[in-house]
């Protein structure tokens, strides 16, 4: 039910993967209004919720900004009360409660979020909060309009126990592939890497991304030749 046709959307592509030491979150930076691209460079779809927990948001821009602010507010108070930052699970739970309780609100639209972070009890964790408020703890997650194109890619490419650089390259590759095949994804790829040492943010401008459009793909494939001997179907086999 999309009644707010003139509201900005941050559909795009969001990705979150765990690696041996923590998590890497990635997103594109395109904002669309209806069928027009509103902005390709400014939006940062990965928002901080607490020291080491970030959320990737995909969906109506205003709603998602509000969710982030709301959850961050609650967690600030909780951190002061406890003397230590909230765990990833608690943060993800707050996000999904908001999503669940407001599923029927008109502005919600298609909303998918990935909450990823690091805490000292369970290490790096990724929680996918899907439309309606389902919460899933996963080793890697994708969401957004461009995610359907890279489902297979990520299933194949993600390996358990990757190093930080490999994981970050994987995320950049995944988002680049999505950008190539989805109209609502584009712009730069932003990544946030979270582990026990802290948080590191990176931005890969559009011209630095591996080109994933068709022409390049075709020229990059190895040419293989196969030989086939013609044989009558009822001829005896050698």
Partner 1 sequence: MSSIGTGYDLSVTTFSPDGRVFQIEYAAKAVDNSGFAPLPSLSPPFSRFSLDPVLGTVIGIKCKDGIVMGVEKLISSKMMLAGSNRRIHAVHRHSGMAVAGLAADGRQIVARAKSEAASYERVYGEPIPVKELADRVASYVHLCTLYWWLRPFGCGIILGGYDREGPQLYMIEPSGISYRYFGAAIGKGRQAAKTEIEKLKLSEMTCREGVIEVAKIIFGVHDEAKDKAFELEMSWVCDESNRQHQKVPDELLEQAKAAAKAALEEMDAD
**What residues act catalytically?**
13
Say if residue 88 is exposed, middle or buried (CB neighbours under 10 Å; 0-12, 13-18, 19+).
buried
Contacts of 117 (CB under 8 A, 6+ apart): 23, 49, 50, 52, 53, 54, 88, 91, 124, 125, 194
Please give the radius of gyration of the chain, using alpha carbons only, rounded to the nearest integer.
Answer: 21
From the list 78, 148, 181, 202, which residue makes contact with partner 1 (rule: CB under 8 A)? Answer: 78
Stretch that binds partner 1, among 91-99, 161-169, 186-194, 210-218 (CB under 8 A): 91-99
Asked whether 155 and 188 are in contact (CB, 8 A), the reply is no
Task: With beta carbons less than 8 A apart as the criterion, state whether 174 and 33 touch.
Answer: no
| Residue 90 interacting with partner 1 (CB under 8 A) | yes
Interaction of residue 121 with partner 1, rule CB under 8 A: yes
Q: How far is CA 79 from CA 25, 53, 86, 159, in A?
A: 23, 13, 6, 34
Closest CB to partner 1 among residues 3, 121? 121
Q: Which of 56, 86, 111, 178 binds partner 1 (CB under 8 A)?
A: 86
Q: Which stretch binds partner 1 (CB under 8 A): 36-44, 47-55, 85-93, 189-197?
A: 85-93
Site string for partner 1, 36-75 (x = CB under 8 A): ----------------------------------------
Pick from 77, 81, 221, 227 the residue near partner 1 by CB under 8 A.
Answer: 81
Residue ranges binding partner 1 (CB under 8 A)? 78, 81-82, 86-87, 89-90, 92-94, 97, 121
């Amino acid at each position: 039910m999309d009644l707010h046709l003139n509201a900005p959307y941050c559909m795009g592509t969001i990705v979150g993967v765990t690696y041996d030491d923590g998590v890497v979150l990635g997103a594109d930076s395109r904002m669309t209004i209806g069928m027009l691209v509103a902005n390709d460079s400014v939006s940062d779809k990965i928002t901080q919720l607490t020291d080491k927990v970030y959320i990737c948001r995909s969906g109506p821009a205003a709603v998602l900004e509000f969710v982030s602010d709301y959850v961050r507010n609650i967690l600030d108070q909780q951190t002061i009360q406890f003397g230590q930052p909230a765990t990833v699970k608690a943060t993800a739970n707050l996000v999904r409660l908001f999503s669940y309780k407001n599923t029927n609100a008109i502005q919600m639209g298609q909303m998918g979020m990935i909450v990823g972070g690091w805490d000292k009890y369970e290490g790096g964790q990724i929680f996918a909060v899907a439309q309606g408020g389902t919460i899933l703890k996963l080793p890697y997650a994708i969401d957004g309009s461009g995610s359907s194109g890279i489902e297979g890619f990520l299933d194949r490419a993600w390996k358990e126990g990757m190093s930080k650089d490999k994981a970050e390259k994987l995320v950049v590759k995944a988002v680049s592939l999505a950008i190539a095949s989805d109209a609502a994804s584009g712009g730069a790829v932003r990544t946030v890497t979270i582990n026990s040492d802290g948080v590191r943010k990176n931005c890969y401008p559009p011209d630095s991304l591996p080109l994933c459009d068709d022409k390049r793909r075709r020229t990059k494939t190895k040419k293989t030749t196969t030989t086939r001997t013609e044989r009558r179907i009822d001829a005896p086999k050698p």
